[in-house]
Structure 1
Amino acid sequence: MTVGMFQKMNAHYGQPPEQAKFFWSGGPVEVAERTWFVSFFSGVTGFETDEGLVLVDSGLSRLAPALDQMLRRKTQAPVHTAVFTQGHVDHAFGLSAFLREGQAAPRVVAHRAMPARFERYAATAGHNQAINARQFGGTVDMREEQLDTFGAPDPAPDTLYDDRLDFSVGGVRFEVHHCRGETDDHSFVWCPDRGVLCPGDLFIWAVPNAGNPQKVQRYPGDWARGLRTMAALGARSLCPGHGGPVVDDAALIRRMLEDTAELLEVIVERTLEAL
């Protein structure tokens, strides 16, 4: 994360999510019973259950300790299960900061395509840093400590799924759905018992990051279909990959997801017409 990103987050500090949009940071915000959202550049959602925490995403490794401190203002429960919505460094590399001393190793859920992403990162670290420097600013010096995330996270995913995975922790049900979008390994998480949707970077309070000629293929068509699937769930609260949560406003959530889907559909349609 660059100095410019920090400056933009500081400039929006204290603003409501609908005003700060992508750059909202804060929390813990209670989004449902025993469920909290925190964000420092990227978001983490913690679902407390009688068997421990279910975490959705884990933040950047350098910022995860601050995210953990925010969340621990509400719960000291050990992490039972973590779900990584995608394999980018701002989602899958901060889990170790949330683990309690002496706790059992958590289950780590991800889509089956994610391990191949980490292998590619390790093999092409210099290339990844060069294109990230062009997009976000920063260094291409591979000696820099900030580059230690071009590999696999620790803990790494140990529970892989293909299309959908349903599980329960402490009597609370969770659904993990595959949806290609910003990445081929992307998932969204739905907790029907608490009405909470975690879309990862499928919704970020900004124009979807659906196309970049220097990055790998993005999937706007699948992305739009996934957004419409999520809109039909009737979620009462939404915890995005970036930006602030929407709490107890099902109508707003549906509109945001459907509007973003329509944007992607129009982009795909008009791009194909122009070819």
Structure 2
Amino acid sequence: MGDAQTITKIAKAEIGYHEGRSGEHWNNHQRYSPAVPGLEWSQNQAWCATFVSWCAMKAGLAELYPRTASCLTGVSWYKQRGRFSEYPAIGAQVFFGQGGGTHTGLVVAFDADTITTVEGNTNAGGSAEGDGVYLKTRERRSSYVHGYGYPAFTEGVESADPAWKEKTPAKPTSQVVTLAPGVKPGARHPQVRVLQQLLAKAGFGPIHGAVTDLYGPETQKSVARFHDANPRYRSEGVAHDSKIGPSGFVALQKLAGRR
């Protein structure tokens, strides 16, 4: 599965989620802000950009999207990298309103006339009070559509931009490495340093005393937090599993943004 398919699948799985309510109004209290390291402060605020950041993190593509709660900051991030277009692309981040600062979402499909998006902090009726995650179909040429940020997907981007075909990046050498046999609780190994850095970057730290080659108690607690959040990678029948396995190590690297 390519990068674009991965993130669009994750975004679609969130369709139907609703934020909290208080005083008979939706209140912007949602699960995405606390789950994105660095954006915890954005709880109870407009969260459309935070939702995109969360999807990118869950897809292991955090470095390919701006981690921000600001739509304007997101537009600037793509433009600084020469990855902004007026044409849609699968997996692209679409920006709406003047300067792109009003609203944002992810493109999951497009044709000659429309774009299909998954958007957080929006609604079904079009009012100003967003309440959840929705699948939306919009007119491509609407004045409300400002433009699209193109992530640097490994497979390139599937874009409507006629000039972009020449800009499709070559497939980079993978940064994902295999787990060394000596990396286990209580042991010393140079790769433990990498493990600690990955755990912290993916949001399962902090690890007091890192960075070191000792797979000590703090590292074990951090690995257990990773397994509690991703139970498919823990040893069968082991609660709070503190031993990282080969498949879990690969998944952790991707969560931390390695490609």
TM-score (norm 2): 0.28
Determine which structure has more spread, i.e. the larger CA radius of gyration: 2
- Higher strand content, 1 or 2: 1
Q: TM-score, normalised by structure 1?
A: 0.27
